[in-house]
A and B are shown apart, each in its own frame.
Chain A
Amino acid sequence: MNCSNFLIELTDLLDEVLDAEMHRELDAHMAACGHCKVVYVTTRKTIQIYRDNQLYDMAPELREKLEAAILLKCKQSGRC
């Protein structure tokens, strides 16, 4: 396992879809390679931060306005 191979497997490692043997190989690589360990940990944090901070949430007033507008348009247009 080298760093390029580690990057190839990074997506599956983050998504936790690797088989046990590959997982062990990647763990062993990270134990020896500080850079790959940092890349893994900080990429995982990147995903977590975006999940924890839901950007662009809709204010209740806007939601009400949009829902009303959508249903009005649907009633007026009918289905294809």
Chain B
Amino acid sequence: MANSRRPAHANGANAAARMAHRKFAARPRIHCDFPIMATIQNVQPEPDGELGLVERVRAGDIDAYGQLVRMYDRRVFRIVNHITQNREDAEDVVQDAFLKAYQNIDRFQGNSKFYTWLVRIAVNEALMKLRKRKTSRTVSMDDEVETEEGSIPREFADWSPNPEQMYGSEETADILKKAIQGLPPNFRTVFVLRDVENLSTEETAQALELSVPAVKSRLLRARLQLRERLAKYFKSPTDAAATQAQAVAQ
């Protein structure tokens, strides 16, 4: 198969994605309502730890909320900027999300980390902003449809050992932004939470109100689509030439 032009990837990738989803779905579901929290809730929280700060906010300490904002604002800003792809929208969403979390902090039950709960609010606000922007520009909502396109590996040239060194840092950043912008928002969001912000699969599922199999399925497609998009910038020149020559010969 290593020498064939259209390997089993091309024929079987759609089936692979479906089988992957079934396989993940067949696994025992991980209970997201972390049992350890029950133990944590019976212990006096550290005053400057996340739960301690939440308790202080509930008791009316606005400075404690300031500490929570400073703890998470940069991460939330990155996430919503990735989703909205618009800096001004991201600034609005960050403010709205923190305000909403503050207003509803009594509804936070401690079944997840405060950060995961905050991310859920921020992601919902960001997706809502995105929908409003698209509606106002009368762009078709078909753009939101999850697509298999790009999830099928077609590019088999290896990359340069240090691909980032092929470009300046600003150019690299532009390439990465351009590639991720092309993903459907649902894929983009899963990739950012899981791979960029390093949330666990379970936390990502909790933040997005998705099942673990759905997160894994979207993550696989997002990773493969991004890989495909980046390949044209980062592939090793010699390997690319060899692959092209092989294709011509066949």
Which A residues contact B (CB, under 8 angstroms)? 2-5, 7-8, 10-11, 14-15, 32-36, 38-39, 41-43, 45-47, 49-58, 62-63, 66-67, 69-71, 73-75, 77-80
Contact = CB atoms under 8 A, between A and B. Distances in A.
Which residue, of A2, A55, A71, has the highest number of chain B Cβ atoms within 10 A? A55
29 contacts: A3-B1, A4-B15, A7-B17, A7-B153, A7-B220, A32-B2, A33-B7, A36-B9, A38-B158, A39-B153, A39-B227, A42-B234, A45-B234, A49-B163, A52-B164, A53-B164, A53-B169, A54-B196, A55-B177, A55-B180, A66-B77, A66-B94, A70-B94, A70-B95, A71-B65, A71-B66, A73-B99, A74-B99, A79-B103
A3 B7 contact: yes
B114 interface: no
Interface residues of B, number: 67
Given A34-B156, A56-B90, A4 B219 contact: no
Interface stretch (B42-50, B67-75, B135-143): B67-75
Interface of B: 1-2, 7-9, 11-13, 15-17, 19-20, 23, 62, 65-66, 69-70, 73-74, 77-78, 81-82, 87, 90-91, 94-95, 98-99, 102-107, 153, 155-159, 163-164, 169, 172-173, 176-177, 180, 191, 195-196, 198, 201, 216, 219-220, 223-224, 226-227, 230-231, 234
Contacts of A74: 62, 65, 98-99, 102-103
B159 A63 contact: no
Contacts of B11: 4
Majority SS at the chain A contact face:
helix
A75 B62 contact: yes
A70 B98 CA distance: 7
A56 B8 contact: no
A63 to B, nearest CB: 6
A37 to B, nearest CB: 9
A51 B164 CA distance: 12
Contact of A39 (B9, B94, B196): B9
Contact of A35 (B13, B16, B153, B219): B153
Given A43-B227, A55-B78, A38 B73 contact: no
Contacts of A15: 201
Among all A-B residue pairs, the 10 with the closest Cβ atoms: A4-B12, A3-B8, A56-B81, A34-B2, A7-B16, A4-B16, A8-B20, A74-B102, A70-B98, A35-B156
Contact of A7 (B20, B90, B158, B176): B20
Contact of A56 (B9, B23, B82): B82
